[in-house]
Amino acid sequence: MNTNVIRDYHMEEPGRPRVRLGDRPRRAPARRLARISKLLLIVTLVIGAGLGAWEGYRRFVRLTYFRVAEIRVEGNLQVASEDVVASLGLTPETSLLELNLKTLSSLVTQNPWIKEASVSRRLPLSLTIQVVERVPEAVFIADRRYLLSADGVILAELEGDDLPTLPILRAAAPRQVRIGERILSSEMAQGLSVWRQFQLANAVQGEKAHEIAMGDDGNYVGNLGQQMPAIRLRAQDMQEQLRRLGAALAASGRALGEFVDVDLRFRDRVVFRPIGGR
């Protein structure tokens, strides 16, 4: 027997080639390349189809048939329809289907006179803008004279000496404001409330407040106009203060025009300062 040949019976079987550790079956390069090419083709077709659909949509919405031909403005009294339309910044080629209605509404409300706006399509050719306008509530005097809305927006600057028949709300100290700025504070809101309650009060014998001035201490001074007294009030308990004024006038038997100054800020009395100290 030849003892120089040592066979591994655990690794070999008769009639089967010997398998060495580390050997791996190899895939054919052509098969792998075919799969990659197929995947790339599918991706290319999907992208192409998407781009084609997008381009088709763009061409469709930009057809002459869908161009904005008419814009209607409803609800406007203070602002001209031409100004509302101009604020949209649309061109003759603008398609009705491409418009962002929310964005258009925000453009319209940049005008301080317009409080709310909604824009809607009316296919195939028209656009409708529905607006809710602000109205002047008072004349606000700061560095200059301005029209002020009920929600505290500066609407416009007043020019000339004539004032509209509106209450005058005077700031406690001169300040600079700009058109469209919202300046409503708790003091201003109370000032407008003071004016409204003053107008409704019977204690002032039919006189109407001409001006409400805000003081630094949180109190207010009502000016009734020429040959009428200044009335000093607190913003709280307005009705009670004016009731005391009426009762005091009735008890004194004198008219309001006989006084230079009336102070209602005290809880237990009304202080009158007569003309000439009499």
Tokens found for residue 94: 């603008």
pTM: 0.61
> The domain 64-133: what is its CATH number?
3.10.20.310
Give the separation between CA 155 and CA 201, rounded to whole angstroms.
Answer: 29
Q: Please give the residue that has the higher pLDDT: either 26 or 162.
A: 162
Extents of the domains making up the chain: 64-133, 136-277
Tokens found for residue 117: 């706006």
The string of pLDDT tens digits covering residues 135-163 is 988 888 888 889 998 888 999 998 876 66
Range with lowest mean pLDDT among 14-18, 62-66, 209-213: 14-18
Superfamily of domain 136-277: Cell division protein FtsQ/DivIB (3.40.50.11690)
Residue whose C-alpha is closest to residue 236's, from 267, 262, 205: 267
Amino acid at 73: V
Amino acid at 266: F
Element (H, E) at 118: strand 114-122
Q: Read off the pLDDT of each residue in 246-259 and give the average, rounded to a whole number.
A: 84
SS (H, E, C) 147-181: EEECCCEEEEECCCCCCCCCCEEECCCCCCCCCCC
The string of pLDDT tens digits covering residues 171-182 is 777 788 899 998
